[in-house]
């Protein structure tokens, strides 16, 4: 007799091998939802980088096309939605741009609106999940990735950045990046990266990716490579420049042209590959399984506690 673990070859074709296509078909029809938030000091190029990543002008940046245009600055948390289609795959992308923080005299609590925004998305999802007649598919507005912009000073992180990074990493997958890295030489960049990694570790900031118990050899290795590259040193640009007769996204400076997509110039391509090719699914999954799950159990425990009579108060039966 065949035991439960033994593999049986059906004598004629059953057809369940098409399950992968069935799943794919369903997923393709529904499309994928990916929500990113950008956070960091003002003027570090947050809005610009988002536009560079998705190669279209999605949100206002300070960049001016004409000298008499007013300077634009992000003043509130704004979510922009776009659907990008590539080879039949629909990616519904939600980008949440936040105003730069930390330039007030008193920066106490300046991160609150951002943290609140992230938690509000968890809360909205939980409410929908707890509805008796819940939808089979809940629209996901939970933030899957937070790109945290670091000022390319070459020195250490500001104390406020460390506070904000810590707060963020408790609720969302945080990916630190060095902004405007065209201002650093390759050597400065490498030293700065090492310094930041050491500072993050010293201050107990756990940035994405995490190795889970289920991670296999291959995943652990990929994560190791990503960790050795973080923080990605990037350059953003919405303009195109001509290099060797080819139009590329780039910036012109006194020394020449920086091609944003050239790996010898910056790590923009690594960041984009990481976000869209290698870790898209894992970022989504980690959000659901780690960050949302932690939020959900805290909320449900709090509800349970609230519905229980407070300890120490006498129950009516005793009297």
- Among 47, 94, 223, 286, contact with ligand GTP (rule: CB under 6 A): 47
Q: Does 51 participate in binding Mg ion (rule CB under 5 A)?
A: no
**Rounded least distance, CB 74 to Mg ion, Å:** 3
Q: Find, among 103, 135, 134, 99, the residue nearest to 117 by Cα.
A: 99
Contacts with ligand GTP by CB under 6 A: the residue count is 19
Least distance CB 139 / ligand GTP (angstroms):
27
Residue 74 as a binder of ligand GTP (CB under 6 A): the answer is yes
Between CA 32 and CA 231 the distance in angstroms is 26
Neighbours of 161 (CB within 10 A): 24
Minimal distance in Å, beta carbon 97 to Mg ion? 5
Q: Which stretch binds Mg ion (CB under 5 A): 40-48, 123-131, 243-251, 270-278?
A: 40-48
Distance, CA of 105 to CA of 2 (rounded, Å): 74
- Sole window of 43-51, 190-198, 238-246, 309-317 interacting with Mg ion (rule: CB under 5 A): 43-51
Q: Could you give the string, one character per residue 104-143, with x where binding to ligand GTP holds by CB under 6 A and - elsewhere?
A: ----------------------------------------
Q: CA–CA separation, 11 vs 191, rounded Å?
A: 63
Interface with ligand GTP, residue 152, by CB under 6 A: no
Residues 200-259 that bind ligand GTP (CB under 6 A): 235-236, 251
DSSP annotation of 72 reads: P
Q: What are the two backbone dihedrals, phi and then psi, of residue 237, each rounded to the nearest 5 degrees?
A: -160, 140
Among 33, 37, 39, 48, binds ligand GTP (CB under 6 A): 48
Minimum distance of ligand GTP from residue 72's CB (angstroms): 7
Burial of 84 (C-beta count, 10 Å sphere; 0-12/13-18/19+)? middle
Nearest Cα neighbor of 26 from 126, 136, 107, 109 is 136
| Count of chain residues binding Mg ion (CB under 5 A) | 3
Question: Does residue 259 belong to the site contacting Mg ion (CB under 5 A)?
Answer: no
The residue from 41, 51, 52, 74 that contacts Mg ion (CB under 5 A) is 74
The strands making up 89-97's β-sheet, listed across from edge to edge, are: 78-86, 89-97, 32-40, 145-150, 174-178, 232-233
- The correct pick among 180, 249, 265, 291 for binding ligand GTP (CB under 6 A) is 180
Burial of 259 (0-12, 13-18, 19+ CB in 10 A): buried
Assign 59 to helix, strand or coil. coil
Q: Rule CB under 6 A: choose which of 36, 37, 39, 44 binds ligand GTP.
A: 44
Site string for ligand GTP, 85-104 (x = CB under 6 A): --------------xx----
Gap between the Cα atoms of 143 and 123, Å rounded: 12
Radius of gyration of the chain (CA): 23
User: Where along the sequence are the contacts to ligand GTP (CB under 6 A)?
Assistant: 42-48, 61-63, 73-74, 99-100, 180, 182, 235-236, 251
């Amino acid at each position: 007799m065949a035991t439960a673990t033994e593999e049986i070859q059906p004598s004629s074709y059953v057809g369940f091998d098409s399950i992968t296509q069935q799943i794919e078909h369903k997923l393709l029809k529904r499309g994928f939802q990916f929500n990113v938030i950008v956070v960091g000091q003002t003027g570090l190029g947050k809005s610009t980088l988002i536009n560079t990543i998705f190669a279209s002008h999605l949100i206002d940046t300070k960049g001016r096309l004409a000298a008499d245009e007013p300077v634009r600055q992000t003043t509130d948390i704004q979510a922009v939605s776009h659907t990008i289609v590539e080879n039949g795959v629909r990616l519904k992308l939600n980008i949440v741009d936040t105003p730069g923080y930390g330039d007030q005299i008193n920066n106490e609590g300046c991160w609150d609106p951002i943290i609140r925004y992230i938690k509000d998305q968890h809360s909205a999802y939980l409410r929908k999940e707890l509805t008796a007649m819940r939808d089979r598919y809940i629209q996901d507005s939970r933030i899957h990735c937070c790109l945290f912009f670091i000022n390319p000073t070459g020195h250490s992180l500001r104390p406020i950045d460390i506070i904000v990074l810590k707060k963020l990493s408790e609720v969302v997958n945080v990916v630190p990046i060095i902004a405007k890295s065209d201002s650093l030489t390759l050597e400065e960049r490498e030293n700065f990266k090492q310094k930041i990694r050491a500072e993050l570790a010293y201050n107990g900031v756990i940035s994405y990716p995490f190795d889970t118990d289920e991670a296999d050899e291959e995943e652990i290795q990929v994560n190791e490579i990503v960790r050795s590259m973080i923080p990605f040193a990037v350059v953003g640009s919405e303009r195109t420049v001509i290099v060797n007769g080819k139009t590329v996204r780039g910036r012109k400076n006194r020394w020449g042209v920086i091609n944003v997509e050239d790996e010898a110039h910056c790590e923009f391509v690594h960041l984009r590959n990481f976000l869209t090719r290698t870790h898209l699914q894992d970022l989504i999954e980690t959000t659901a399984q780690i960050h949302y799950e932690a939020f959900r159990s805290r909320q449900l425990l709090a509800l349970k506690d609230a519905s229980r009579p407070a300890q120490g108060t006498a129950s009516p039966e005793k009297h």
